Amino acid sequence: MLGRNWTRVGRWGVEQLRSMSQATAVKNLEKMHAEFEGRPLYLDAQATTPLDPRVLDAMLPYMLVNFGNPHSRTHAYGWESERAMEDARKSVAAIINADPREIIFTSGATESNNISVKGVARFYKSKKRHVITTQTEHKCVLDSCRALEGEGFEVEPVQSGGGQERGIRSGTVPTPLVVGLGKACEICISDMEYDMNHMIRLSNRLLSLFEANLTNVIRNGDPKQTYPGCVNLSFACVEGESLLMALKDVALSSGSACTSASLEPSYVLRAIGADEDLAHSSIRFGFGRFTTVEEVDYTAMRTIEAVKKLREMSPLWEMLQDGIDLKSTVFNRFVFVEMAPKKAARKVFSIKVKQEIIKKKEAGQKVGDIAREYGVHNSSISSILAQKEKIMMSSVAKGVKKVGSRSTTMEEMEKLLFIWFTDRQLKGEITHMGMIMKKAIIIFADLKEKEEAQESCTGQPPKEMEVLVFCSGWAKRIKKRLGINSFFMHGEGGSADKLAAEKFAKQFQDFVKEEGYQAQQANMKFSILHRSSNSAARLAVLSEFKSKTDACVKTPCFLLTTRGATVPHLTYDTLQLVLGDRGSEYPSYVRVTDLTVAQKPGYNNEGISIWTRHGRKTLSVENVYQQANMKFSILHRSSNSAARLAVLSEFKSKTDACVKTPCFLLTTRGATVPHLTYDTLQLVLGDRGSHVLQYCLDGIEPISDAVEDSKTSLAEFAGMSEYPSYVRVTDLTVAQKPGYNNEGISIWTRHGRKSLSVEKYLEKITAFRPDIWQAFVDTDTSSAKKVKRTLIRNETFLTKAIEAKNSRPILIRMQELTNSAVIATIVGGLNHKQRSEFLGTTCASAGADGFSFEGFFPGGTGNVASEYTPEIADVFREYVEKLPEDKPRLLPGAFNPKFIESAVLAGFDVFDSSLPYLAAENGLALRIPHVSSEKVVHPTETAQGELVEPGIVVDEDDAEENYSGCGPQWKGFTLPLKAKKYTEDFTPIAADCSCYTCRNYTKAYVSYLLNVKEMLATVLLMLHNLHHFEDFFAALKKRHMGSIRSV
């Protein structure tokens, strides 16, 4: 009774269907049949298959009733799900004779293959670095091998035959899916023999029907060593995509779903020896458990009809029938690079000139004399004379060169081709000439079929057979009509050395890809499609806008006028009621005045006056176009130290952001604040004002290609677009390895050492599009010799950075550096002479937008730097005052609170959050005494900004052994919560702290989490430490406000 509708039973489940009365069951099945009537047959089982209702029955309880998280070990819901998960693990293991402990659940085959290939290779990395694969492997396996090649592995493709889950795959295991997989494996074990025999019957039937009715059908792959449920066939002289379009009532495929976005033929078919033309002609028939004989018969019948019809329209099939060897025939074709000189341009005459030529011939002049007069060959004049009647009858506009003799079918085909091409442009899809030709063939064939059907219905005599011919002339015309900027041809009219041309093309494309070049694009493109023959009217397309490169606006058109920044009276949603899918969303155009408002004359003496809602505003041309890189505005200065209160504003991407200094940058690892998700970070930041996120190149370099491909900035890619971004070279929370900077600057990513030149660094910065970025810098000051060497190199690096930011870019990508701010880095250790030399260079550079003091600690810190030594104080006093007053001063790294306070008094403005992060990593909670209202201590200050009293009250309660894992330098402003004394302390970390951790948890709870190594511990510590660090900077401003005077 079920028949084909077996796959639809899943709505109720097998058991539910059995529980129904026969009449109800039949009624429900009939209802399902009606719902799915008209849908195509499904024979694409290699892409996916319908769910077996028995599997659905097994899964449903874990979606509706037993919905517990299998990793929840504290209640029955979790225990039930865990037991079901482990039962499924056993079922999967049983089908492949494996141990259940060897089964790891992932999201799918692609992830499993990535873990397997990369995991094994990296595990044996120190011993074996040779990977062998085959060219017929799945795309995700081949891509994994390519990734390993980038890590230094030797990959050899060979031709053959033609936290959870034990830390291997972290993430919550989806119980329903796992249970379903387990049930599917049980069914597979019980039904495997029957299913295999069913597949053999279906495949043999399909092949026998094709063999009896068609010729030149090739089966791809070994006919014996094969899976019968997958039959891959090539039909000679039939394009696979055309056949699929003809079989709209059968769901088939021409290749793997993983590579369906590519027009290239299947790499697997090419690897097993299939010719490219047959690979393009391949169709995959995939059978499943529920495929019926009737479905196979119907599919075979429809395929035979379509193949015969397409072959009748194919000139290649006619040539093949005539015995012509297609493989030895050379065809003129399109490729991507134009090589060698072209033939001399053919002279083209206007209609008016052609009419003059005809009149001269009628007056008795000879063809040869006319040809010599006009400088053309005799055949050109003869061609004009052959069209005498059409030319003389033409009444056309001046400048028209051709007579319209194109058929309506060709006109209609090109209109539909334009619609298709425009749709691809709107979707941002790349289209090359080969795709256009293929689409033209399909559209033309469909139109001719409709035309012939109409002629037969009306009894009209058949028209002369029309053939679609592709030539260079058609290609140029269609390029102009579609508005294609350019394409290049190679063939009879190109170069005699085709192999040399193609070799050069590949070399050039490889070079462009390797170097990362991208040609300068036009600001906006205006392409005329058609002109009126009796007026100046024209149809055209506006495209290639700066922000919406895929947008395409047809003209004549109108601009959507806004008032303020919105279309008057309409919200975005109501605007969609008008526009819907009527075009692009939305390039922008800014003009000076609003023509819907009456303008007031007579106010333009000194510039141009515009009338805003706040009254008249006069603008010069400089006012309109000038944009600062980043603005640093000093609000107050200390009367007895170098401290100052200021504001950072007008960032490139966040013009409305305003960051008050002294402040700290939010240091990230990778592209996120360590241990915190976006939502948990908001528990710290909340409404505390703007913050700048600091990204370190050694952490984000591995994702640079992905960011560039996304065509967004790093901040947008990381989901942190509301925060201005700063990219620096190295992460100072990680100890740096000196001695690797001979040819460039070495950074240490998670994939190992990577050497960068200044040019490569600028490419990375361009890809990330930050608001602020550090000029390329070598901070290796591990010896006096290296200090001197770094100074020389850094002068060159800074010069190149300023030039890249200020010069007009040759490459469009480099425009991303304009309007960003560059930070110059001052290094030199404690060597006064070396710092003086470099300080003179950086101060002389007018292009730097701020200065960062680094190089005090050779090799980076990797831990807290506690000593504010007299030597460092001397350096600060001597050199900070030499820096420009109107530029921010940065002091990155992990410094203890006393050091930071002294640096603020010395004139530094910006620090970073290395200290709270490293504290959390070491299991320490920040507890800076003078942040607490109970322990405020007011130190006295010298004129040089030195603290006579410490300013920080040291807590001597914690013994030094409690800091054994991190060092005594943390003592005095942190609590070592791992210590035994805190295991029974049920008070908050800080009684007066309003952070999420202190409001909800106790020292004892955090101590317990730290000692059992639960990752929630570092999350809670980061929440507290960042919040407390924010309070520390607020306290600094409050403590020293009394000595601040207004500027």
- Model confidence at 953: pLDDT above 50: no
Q: Give residue-wise pLDDT tens across range 661-699.
A: 999 999 998 888 999 988 888 888 876 667 899 999 888
Give the separation between CA 1011 and CA 110, rounded to whole angstroms.
Answer: 37
Cα separation values, 86 from 97, 109, 248, Å: 16, 20, 43
Residue 126 — very low, low, confident or very high, per pLDDT cuts 50/70/90?
A: confident
Would you state the pLDDT for residue 160?
Answer: 43
The mean predicted confidence, pLDDT, of the chain is: 76
Q: Give residue-wise pLDDT tens across range 53-66.
A: 898 888 888 888 88
Asked whether the beta carbons of 876 and 906 are under 8 A apart, the reply is yes
Cα separation values, 149 from 109, 632, 757, 909, Å: 21, 46, 22, 45
- Select the more confidently predicted residue: 792 or 633: 633
Q: Give residue-wise pLDDT tens across range 214-241.
A: 998 989 888 888 899 999 998 888 888 7
Q: What are phi and psi of 904, to 5 degrees?
A: -60, -45
Stretch among 47-56, 136-145, 375-384, 783-792 having the lowest mean pLDDT = 783-792
Write down the catalytic residue from 230, 258, 658, 843. Answer: 258
- Model confidence at 516: pLDDT above 70: no
- Select the more confidently predicted residue: 881 or 472: 881
Closest C-alpha to 917, from 783, 731, 662, 651: 731
CA 677 to chain CA centroid, Å, is 21
- Select the more confidently predicted residue: 335 or 201: 201
Look up residue 690 and give its two tokens: 């703007």
Binding site for Zn(2+): which residues?
Answer: 993, 995, 998, 1024
Would you state the pLDDT for residue 1?
Answer: 35
With a pLDDT cut of 90, the percent of the chain lying above it is 16
Would you state the pLDDT for residue 677?
Answer: 86
Asked whether the beta carbons of 296 and 201 are under 8 A apart, the reply is no
Would you state the pLDDT for residue 923?
Answer: 93
Question: What integer is the mean pLDDT of 107-112?
Answer: 84
Would you state the pLDDT for residue 695?
Answer: 93
Residue position matching structure tokens 């005077």: 1045
Would you state the pLDDT for residue 16?
Answer: 54
Stretch among 354-363, 793-802, 999-1008 having the lowest mean pLDDT = 793-802
Q: Give residue-wise pLDDT tens across range 18-42.
A: 555 656 665 665 555 555 556 788 8
- Select the more confidently predicted residue: 396 or 421: 421
Q: Give residue-wise pLDDT tens across range 815-835.
A: 566 678 888 888 766 666 666
Q: Give residue-wise pLDDT tens across range 424-456.
A: 776 666 676 667 877 888 888 888 877 777 776
Give the separation between CA 425 and CA 115, rounded to whole angstroms.
Answer: 37
Would you state the pLDDT for residue 565?
Answer: 76
Residue 12 — very low, low, confident or very high, per pLDDT cuts 50/70/90?
A: very low
- Model confidence at 1021: pLDDT above 80: yes
What stretches of 156-272 show up as alpha helix (H) in DSSP?
175-213, 240-246, 267-271
696 included as an active-site residue: no
Residue 338 — very low, low, confident or very high, per pLDDT cuts 50/70/90?
A: very low
- Model confidence at 200: pLDDT above 90: yes
The residues pairing with 251 across neighbouring beta strands, listed in sequence order, are 42
Would you state the pLDDT for residue 528?
Answer: 83
Look at residue 235 and give its three-state secondary structure. Answer: strand
Question: What integer is the mean pLDDT of 108-124?
Answer: 86
- Model confidence at 589: pLDDT above 50: yes
b/e code 46-70 from CB counts within 10 Å (16+ = b): bbebeebbbbbbbbbebeeebebeb
Task: Return all residues near 609 (Cβ < 8 A) that are at least 6 apart.
Answer: 600, 603, 616, 617, 618, 619
